[in-house]
Amino acid sequence: MSAEVAYTGFGLDGRNRLRQPGASGQRGQFSHKPGGKNYHPLLVFEGQSRLCLNAVLRTGNTHSSTEAPSFVEQTMNLLAGHPVKYARFDKGFGRGDVLPFVGESRHRLCRQTKWTKRLAAEVDRCRYWKRFVDEDWVIEGIALWYQATSWDRPRRVTVTRKAQVTQDGQNCLLLDTDWQYEAIVTNLDGEAIDVWRFYNQRCAVIQYLRSLKSMVAYPFSG
């Protein structure tokens, strides 16, 4: 990585889940090539340039959180001396908390967190949701302080839920079972919808990876 890259600060987008084309239900195997090798990589991209800053290959049957904290710590060490504006990670970086390695007090952080029964129970205690979008799709959000079992302390979690409105004659039906939930642990102070939108800007990196997979023959040989 060149020190002459003209950025006021790096944005980090971490990717843990990279499903291989044609993969079967078994980890590390392909339906058309049973027993064939594949990999479960950890990747960090610079959010604007799509430059891959760090990567490590793990075997296809590796748990998503394996090596994640040390990988994030290594990435931050590689960037020592370079300003980091923000970091966004998917929920594959969840178990074995990675946030302390990024520098929670210095950078804007967002990490999708797994929707567990324990978190759902905490959210159920929140009675008042704020509605942000009220059209064909309804989007609502809340924020709460929550401590997962692997975290060293409580952190701010924003929760957004969305559901598609069903038309029944002139009435609009919306059932409790229609909601899709997404939780993000963050140190940002904004509304849940703003945190959700900021996190989902990393979708550009996901699309970039999908384009790469179409050009690279997976699984890697070796």
- One digit per residue, the tens of pLDDT, for the chain of length 222 reads 333 434 456 778 877 655 554 444 444 444 445 555 667 788 888 877 778 888 888 877 777 777 888 888 888 888 887 888 888 888 877 765 677 666 666 778 888 898 999 999 999 998 889 999 888 889 999 999 999 888 888 999 999 999 887 766 555 666 677 899 999 999 999 999 999 999 988 766 566 565 655 555 554 433
Q: Can you give the pTM of this predicted structure?
A: 0.77
Q: Is 193 exposed, middle or buried (0-12, 13-18, 19+ CB in 10 A)?
A: middle
Owning domain of residue 188: 10-215
| φ, ψ at 30 (rounded to 5°) | -120, 140
**146 pairs with which residues across the strands?**
155
d(CA 38, CA 41): 10
| Assigned domain for 2 exists | no
Our count of domains for the chain comes to 1
| Assigned domain for 60 exists | yes
Residue among 144, 137, 97, 140 nearest 120 (CA): 144
Residue among 109, 176, 121 nearest 146 (CA): 121
| Assigned domain for 195 exists | yes
| Assigned domain for 3 exists | no
